[in-house]
Structure 1
Amino acid sequence: MIITAVLPALSKEASIGNIVLSEIAEYKDDKQISHPYNEVKGAVLNLHQFNGHNIGVIIPAYNEENLIGETINGIPEYVKRIYVIDDCSTDSTPEIVKRLTDPRIVSVRHEKNQGVGAAIISGYKLALEDNIDIAVVMAGDNQMDPKQLPKLLEPIVEGRADFTKGNRIIRGYWKGMSKWRLSGNFLLTWLNKIASGYWNISDPQNGYVAISVSSLRKFNLDSLYGGFAFENDMMIKSNILGIRMMNVPIPARYGKEKSKIRYNRFIIHTSWFLLISFLYRISNKYLFRFHPIGIFYFTGFILIIFGIVLLLFWPVLILGLVSFTFGIALEMKEINKSQLRGL
C-alpha cells in the first residue's frame, strides 16, 4: 500500500521511502519533527500535553468535505498530533485538509478505498512510530465532541483503564439518536457483550475511543478487520489480550453529517461476524487452555444448537442455556477482578 502524507510547515517537497511530503506552508524553523519519518525537518510542533502525556488524534475521513475542516479545527491545543487518514475520498476532502495550516496535522491518503477500519489502522501505525502515549479516534464528520475528550483520557492517564470507549445510550445521552439507529445499537450491544466478553461495555459501535500506545503494541494491527465491524473486532481481540476496557458516558451529537452505513445490511453482516468471533475468542482465550469458562461456553453453545436443530427439544435446549449462563457468570467475575486490579 502506498501512502501519500502531507505534513504542514515543510519548506520543500521531500520523499522518504514510499511517503511523499509536499510543501503546503512556509518554512518556520529547523526543529526535527516528532514523526516516524523524522529525517525531514521544518515542522513546528504543538508541545502541549495532557497531564504529561502525548496525545495523538486519528481522524478517518471519506468524502467529508462539509465537516472535515470543522472537525480538525475543534481539536484541543493539548493534542500533539492530528492524523487525518483520507480513505481515497472522491470529493474535496484532501484539498481542504491541505489548506489547513495547523502544524500538528499529518495527512495520509489511501490510494484505494479500504474502509473505516483500515483508515484507523493506518493512523494507529503512525501513532505507534511517533512519540505518542495515547491514541484517540474521532470521526471526520464532527459527530464527536472534542470537549468530551478528557473523559476518555483521564481513566488511562490515572491507570484505571487501558482502553476507553464512549457510551451514548446511558443517562439519556441517546436522545439525539434515531429510533432505527438506537434499536440496532441495542441489538448489537447484547450480541457484542457475548462475542467480546466485555459485559461491562455498552454502545460497542461508538467509534469515539482512546487507547494507551503500550496496549496498542500488543495487537497485530494487520489482522484487524478493516470494514465497519472494526470496532467489534478490536474489542474481541482486546479481550483475548487482557486489555482493561472502560465505558465513558458521552452524549450523542448529530447534526449535518450523513451516515454511510446501510443499517439492514450492516446489522445482518455484523451479527454473523460476532457469532464467528465469539467462537474464535472462547477457543483462543479459554478452550485451548481447558479453562472452565471455555468448557461451559462451548458445551452450552453446542447443546443450544442441537436443541434448535431437533425442533426445540427442550431438555437439551435448557441444559445448553444453563451451561452457557454459567460461562457468562464466570466470565463476568473474571472481568470484575480485572477492573478491580486497575483501581
Structure 2
Amino acid sequence: MATVNKKSDVLIIIPAYNEAENIENIVDEITTGYPQYDYVVVNDGSSDATSRILKKRGYNHINCPINLGIGGAIQTGYRYAREKDYEIAVQIDGDGQHDPAYIKDIITPIREGEADYVIGSRFVNKEGFQSSATRRIGIKFLSGLITVLCLRRVKDVTSGFRAVNKFFIDVFSENYPIDYPEPEAILDAVMRRKRILELPVIMRERETGKSSINFRRSIYYMIKVTLDIIVCRISYGIRR
C-alpha cells in the first residue's frame, strides 16, 4: 500500500487496470530515470496479476477494493496527492505509452506560474504514435465540440498525460469525471477560466497487453462524452 515517505513536491499518478504486462516497466523507468519525483500506482481492482506484482516489488500503490473506472482511479490518486500536500500532480497511464522524459516539460510552466493545467499532446507537432484513424476522428470531433461550446481549442482532448497545480489537485480530489474523464476535465478547467497549456510530447505505442476500449466501447464513449460535455456546459451557464 501507499506508505513511501514524501521526498518531492511532484506526485506522478499511475492508474492501472490489468496492466501486469506493463506496470513493472513504467514504474522501474520512473524510479530509475526520474527518482526526483514521487509516484503512486492506483490499482483499479485489477483481475490479473497487477496487485501481486505491486506488492512483490514493493511499489508505492493503492489497491481499490473494486473497479472504479479510470475516473475513480485518478480521483483516488488526487485524494492521495491532497492528503500528502503535493504542489503538482502528473497523470501517466499504466500502459507505458507516456514517456516520463516529458514530465519536466509539462511541469515547468506550472512551477513558473505560467499555467494551471498542462496537457501533453500528440497533435501539436504530430510526432510519434498518433492513435488509430478511428480514434483520431473521435478526438477531432470532441476537440471541435469543446471549441464551439467554450471558445477554447485543445487538440488532444483525450490525452491522459497531463499535469495540474495545487488548485486542481483540490478540485479533482473532490469531483472528477468518472467515465472517460479527460475531455470533461478539460471543459471544467476552461469554464473555471484557468490557464491551460498544450505542449508537444511523443507518445509510444502500447507494446503489450490490450486496451480496454474496443469498438463498442468507443461508440459508447463518443455518445456519453458528447452528452456529458453539452450538459456540463449548460450547467456552467446556468450557474453563472
Higher relative contact order (CA 8 A, sep 6+): 2
- Answer yes or no: is the 8 Å Cα contact 2:2–2:40 preserved in 1: no
Change (3 A) 1:56 1:201: same
2:154 alignment partner, SS class: coil
Q: Please report how far the alpha carbon of residue 6 of structure 1 lies from its aligned counterpart in structure 2 after TM superposition.
A: 4.6
**Aligned mates of 2:228, 2:46 — CA distance in 1:** 31
Structure 1 residues 288 and 6, CA gap change in structure 2 (3 angstroms):
closer
Distance, in Å, in 2 between the alignment partners of 1:264 and 1:255 is: 20
Name 1:182's counterpart in structure 2.
Answer: 136
Which residue of 58, 73, 78 maps to 1:119? Answer: 73
Q: 1:281 to 1:221 in 2, by over 3 A?
A: farther
Of 7, 12, 15, which aligns to 2:3?
7
For residues 105 and 206 of structure 2, what CA distance do their matches in structure 1 show? 22
Of 147-156 and 105-114, the range deviating more from structure 2: 105-114
> 206, 214, 225: which is aligned to 1:273?
225
Q: How is 1:20-35 mapped onto 2 (pairs within 5 angstroms)?
A: 33-34=5-6
For 2:116, the equivalent position in structure 1 comes to: 162
d(CA) in 2 for partners of 1:225, 1:155: 25
- Note closer, same or farther for the CA distance 1:263–1:162 as it changes in structure 2 (3 Å cut): farther
CA displacement, residues 298-325 of structure 1 (integer Å, 9 cap, x when unaligned): xxxxxxxxxxxxxxxxxxxxxxxxxxxx
- 8 Å Cα contact 1:6-1:98 kept in structure 2: no
Do 2:144 and 2:153's aligned partners in 1 also have CA atoms closer than 8 Å?
no
Report the counterpart of residue 95 of structure 2 in structure 1: 141
**Partner SS for 2:41:** strand
Q: 2:158 aligns with which of 202, 205, 213?
A: 205
Check if 1:192 corresponds to 2:150. no
SS at match of 1:74: helix
CA distance in 2, matches of 1:222, 1:263: 31
Distance 1:274 1:221, change over 3 A: farther
Deviations 1:25-74 (A, max 9, x none): xxxxxxxx44xxxxxxxxxxxx3x5xxxx110000001101110001011
Describe the shift of the 1:115–1:276 C-alpha distance in structure 2 as closer, same or farther (beyond 3 A): closer
Match 1:259 to one of 207, 211, 216: 211
Going from structure 1 to structure 2, the CA distance change for 1:263 and 1:161 (only over 3 Å counts) comes to farther
- Contact in 2 for aligned 1:191/1:271 (Cα 8 Å): no
Q: Does the alignment pair 1:244 with 2:202?
A: no
Unpaired runs of 5+ residues, structure 2, are none
Q: Does 1:59 align with 2:7?
A: no
Determine the C-alpha separation between the residues in 2 that align with 1:147 and 1:231: 21
Letter in 1 for 2:145: L
Q: Does 1:100 align with 2:30?
A: no
Match of 2:3, as an amino acid? Answer: L
- Structure 2 CA distance, aligned partners of 1:234 and 1:175? 23
Deviation at 1:287?
Answer: 4.8
TM-score by length of 1: 0.63
CA offsets 1:152-186 (integer angstroms, 9 cap, x no match): 11111111100101110232225543222322222
Does 2:31 match 1:77? no
3-state SS of the aligned residue for 1:247?
A: strand
> Superposition RMSD on alpha carbons, in Å?
2.2
How many equivalent residue pairs?
236
- Percent identity of paired positions between Structure 1 and Structure 2: 27
- Find the residue that maps to 2:60 and give its secondary structure: strand
Structure 1: 5+ residue stretches without partners = 9-32, 35-46, 290-343
Deviates more, 1:251-260 or 1:270-279: 270-279
Distance of 1:207 and 1:147 partners within structure 2? 15
One of 158, 163, 171 as aligned partner of 2:125: 171
